[in-house]
Amino acid sequence: MANHRVWGVNMSERRDVIVGIGGAAGDGVASAGNNLALMCARQGIGIFAYNSYQSVIRGGHSWFRIRASNTQPQSVGDRVDLLIALNQDCLDRHLQEVHPGGVVLYNSSKLKLPHAPPKDVQVCALPLEELVPEAGKLTIMQNTVALGAVIQLMGLPLEGIEKLIEQAYGKKGEEVVRSNRAAARAGFDRAKESLVPIDSPLTPGGKPLAWIIGNQALAYGGALAGVKLYVAYPMSPATGVLHWMAKHARRLGICARQVEDEIAVINMAIGASHVGVRAMCATSGGGFALMSEAIGFAAMIETPVVVINVQRAGPSTGVPTKTEQGDLNQAVGASQGDLQRIIVAPTSIEDACHTIPEVFNLAERHQLPVIVLSDLLISEGGTTVPPETLDFEPVIDRGELITEAPADIDPAASYLRYRVTESGVSPRAIPGVPGHLFVAASDEQDEDGVLISDVYTDPVIRKKMVDKRARKMVGVLRDIPAPALEGPTDAQVTLLGWGSTRGVIAEAAKRLTDEGITANHLQIKFLVPFHAAEVSAIIESAQKTISVENSESGQFARHLRAETGLSVDGHIRKYDGEPFEPKHIVEGVKAVLRGDEVVRVLSTEPGWRSEHPPVATGPTGTRTH
């Protein structure tokens, strides 16, 4: 190789840089990652980030990956080009993963390379004691040094980090700002001087982008939709929504409260919604299980409510800081009886922000609960977006809501809260409005709200009211868009996914097509109700269908089968806690084409020497069942 290193093996293909920052909780991994993402965003560089961490306050292992590109990346990718190791453990685990052409950066005053770096990987030793003698025991300064070095390698200007330092430490006084600036510059210079130069594919200086985390997008979407009551009980990975709401509540005129448990949460949201407030709550799988009974209650009394379930795998605690699409069954089966719900899974962080206002309208138009299924990939992932895509005024459609009594109200005419209509939707008065008294009940009730549950049980009325509520789903289906196939219709392979995996599946489909296996892609956002006719037509005309999901048992494939009566030809399943990377899907498709029916993939490369991740079997991180 000449005196000019290239990113990866084939420079013409390289359009992005993937940075991995690892350390223990408390080492400042997330803040370093956020700062780097923010610096890129301010330079108009597109970012997709994902933080794999442990739910311990100190210790554990945090692994923050940032993919930076001139165009918006849709997944975290499947390499590490630049490794920032903040502790020895990170160096031990991840050194082996650094891609040819990449660089490993670490504080050589404190850490040691555990083994020789992989082929064509440069070492950027950043001895803190030597570079910033005044740092003394403040090892956190190593983060600033490393960020300085890494932005040099990425081709970002030094001013970006200087501005961040001022913003972050301005309040702590001039001295702190000065020493951090010196640290950043020392790192920047050391990278420049000590390494064979690297051509970064990034072209900074574009229009600044906004940098947003999924839970912020959900919360912001709620605020845009007009949420006025947000109640929650802390549970990772949904707590970010509560934090955002609590922080902004006063300024936005939102009441945000932490309450005693998730049963209280959902019932409070229903109570508020019943009196006419747009109310939202978010939790994770275990909390959602506690909400189950009340979701049926909302459906029964026809009170809209929006519940976000940031799925986690397993009961409290399960694997709380890992990603999984494990609660589809739970959402579909939540609550008792045969009651209505909408289940929607945003397909990206940006989509999450648009989905919330959209589903509030659906909830209010059709007077029923909406379950939003997010996961760690969306909720704690980060992305850049053009700021103007966040600056929108959503349509607000409250449906048939009676908020004041008409002047000419006939006091003798009785208001029927549950009037039987063709659409199944009955005009909804909110308590406080004169002339519309009614009692809503979890018991079955007639059109006027009078109970028929026990003493008056009447099969004719019961059927009439069940039918009325059920009819609403016809209208919902009409209101939601049918999913559309992306890519060539005559592709050899059709990939089917749902919710958060849209970006990574799309990227894999493109890569497959580039490699000569033409692939198209169907991503389902609305799980209930389901556009069965359209999806069936797509499946029936596909050559080979493969479902891709973060679930062991194939909940999504089963849902597809339940809704369409059709089975897919192959399954790619991942449930090791880490999100799909494009290569997992590409390899999985190849395995299906070779004849495997179910391919279970793992985020591990064969031959990796440390425990992270554990040793895999099978080709390139895939393991067939």
Partner 1 sequence: MTTAHLDLKPKDYRSEVPPDWCPGCGDFGVLNALQRACADLSIAPHEILVVSGIGCSSNLPGFFRSYGLHSLHGRSLPVATGARLGNHDLHVIAVGGDGDGYGIGMGHLFHSMRRNINLTYIVMDNEIYGLTTGQISPTSLTGMKTKTTPEGNLEPPANPLLVALAAGCHFVARGYSGDQKQLVEIIKQGLQHPGFALIDVFSPCVTFNRVNTYDFFKERVKRLEDMGHDSADHMAAIEQARIWGDVIPIGIFYQSPDPRPAIDDQDPALQGEPLVHRELGLSAEQRRQLIHEMM
Buried b (16+ CB within 10 A) or exposed e, 346-378: bbbbbbbbbbbbbbbbbbbbbbbbbbbbbbbbb
Identify the three-state secondary structure at position 38: helix
Q: What number of chain residues touch partner 1 (CB under 8 A)?
A: 74
* Binders of partner 1 in range 166-205 (CB under 8 A): none
User: How near is the Cβ of 394 to partner 1 at its closest, in Å?
Assistant: 7
CB of 369 to partner 1, least distance (A): 14
- What is the closest distance, in whole angstroms, from the C-beta atom of residue 437 to partner 1 in the complex? 6
Residue (158 or 451) nearer to partner 1, CB:
451
The least distance separating partner 1 from the CB of residue 398, rounded to whole angstroms, comes to: 8
Contacts of 87 (CB under 8 A, 6+ apart): 22, 23, 24, 27, 111
Answer for which of 279, 539, 560, 602 binds partner 1 (CB under 8 A) is: 279
- Binding region for partner 1 (CB under 8 A) out of 127-135, 429-437, 581-589, 613-621: 429-437
Query: Is the Cβ of residue 8 or residue 276 nearer to partner 1 in the bound state?
Result: 276
Options 65, 93, 185, 228; binder of partner 1; rule CB under 8 A: 228
Restricting to residues 110-169, which ones interact with partner 1 according to CB under 8 A? Answer: none
Between 334 and 527, name the residue whose CB sits nearer to partner 1.
Answer: 334
Could you tell me the two tokens for 347? Answer: 């397909």
Q: Compute how many other C-beta atoms are within 10 angstroms of the C-beta atom of residue 214.
A: 29
Place of tokens 């909406």: 370
Is 439 among the residues that bind partner 1 (CB under 8 A)? Answer: yes
Best CA proximity match to 345, nearest among 151, 119, 551: 551
The pair of structure tokens assigned to 296 is: 């049926």
Convert residues 237-276 into a mask of x (bound to partner 1 by CB under 8 A) and - (unbound).
Answer: -----------xxxxxxxxxx-xxx-xxx-xxxxxxxxxx
Q: Cβ of residue 277: shortest distance to partner 1, in angstroms? A: 4
Residues in a beta bridge with 369: 305
Q: Bridge-partner residues for 322, per DSSP?
A: none
Please pick, from the candidates 93, 436, 574, 584, the single residue that binds partner 1 as defined by CB under 8 A. 436
From 113, 125, 290, 441, residue interacting with partner 1 (rule: CB under 8 A): 441
Q: Closer CB to partner 1, residue 116 or residue 455?
A: 455
Pick from 528, 523, 522, 521: nearest CA to 480: 528
Question: Whole-number minimum distance, CB 297 to partner 1, in Å?
Answer: 5
Burial 547-583 (b: 16+ CB within 10 A, else e): bbbbbeebbbbbbbeebbeeebbbbbbbbbbbbbbbb
CA distance 360 to 306: 7
User: What is the Cα 571 distance to its own chain's centre?
Assistant: 22
Show the site string, 452-471: x = touches partner 1 by CB under 8 A, - = not: ---x----------------
Answer for which of 162, 189, 293, 563 binds partner 1 (CB under 8 A) is: 293
Stretch that binds partner 1, among 63-71, 224-232, 569-577, 592-600 (CB under 8 A): 224-232
Q: Which is nearer to partner 1, 159 or 515 (CB)?
A: 159
- Candidates 71-79, 86-94, 113-121, 431-439: pick the segment binding partner 1 (CB under 8 A): 431-439
CA distances from 18 to 67, 84, 201 (A): 4, 11, 11
Structure-derived torsion over alpha carbons of residues 27, 33, 39, 42, reported in degrees to the nearest 10: -140
Q: Which residue, 228 or 612, is less far from partner 1 as judged by CB?
A: 228
DSSP run (H or E) holding 588: helix 582-593
- Helices 174-194 and 158-169: crossing angle, nearest 10°? 160
**3-state SS, one letter per residue, for 215-263:** HHHHHHHHHHHCCCEEEECCCCCCHHHHHHHHHHHHHHCCEEEECCCHH
Report the residue from 184, 235, 301, 528 that binds partner 1 according to the rule CB under 8 A. Answer: 301
In the complex, the smallest distance separating the C-beta of residue 250 from partner 1, rounded to whole angstroms, is 5
- Least distance from partner 1 to the Cβ atom of residue 204, Å: 15
Among 434, 481, 614, 619, the residue binding partner 1 under the rule CB under 8 A is: 434
> Could you say which of 114, 127, 157, 226 contacts partner 1 (CB under 8 A)?
226
Six-digit token pair at 161? 């980090």
Q: Which is nearer to partner 1, 117 or 226 (CB)?
A: 226
Q: Give residues with Cβ within 8 angstroms of 258, minimum separation 6.
A: 231, 232, 233, 234, 242, 246
Q: Which two three-digit tokens encode residue 67?
A: 């993919």
Residue 246 or 319 having the CB closest to partner 1 = 246
Name which of 88, 70, 91 is nearest 80 in CA terms: 91
Round to whole Å and give the CA distance between 2 and 192: 17
> In the stretch 506-545, what mask flags binding to partner 1 with x, by CB under 8 A?
----------------------------------------
Site string for partner 1, 585-614 (x = CB under 8 A): ------------------------------
Would you count residue 232 as binding partner 1 (CB under 8 A)?
Answer: no
Least spacing, CB of residue 269 vs partner 1, in Å: 6
> Does 41 participate in binding partner 1 (rule CB under 8 A)?
yes
Q: Looking at beta carbons only, is 272 or 522 nearer to partner 1?
A: 272
Among the listed residues 74, 200, 216, 367, the single contact to partner 1 using CB under 8 A: 216
Comparing CB distances to partner 1, the nearer of 431 and 488 is 431
Terminal C-alpha separation, the chain: 41
382-421: which residues touch partner 1 (CB under 8 A)? 387, 390-391, 393-394, 396
* 320 upstream amide cis, omega within 30 of 0: no
Q: Which structure tokens are listed for 425?
A: 């939707």
Query: 452 or 493, CB closer to partner 1?
Result: 452
DSSP assigned state of 579: P
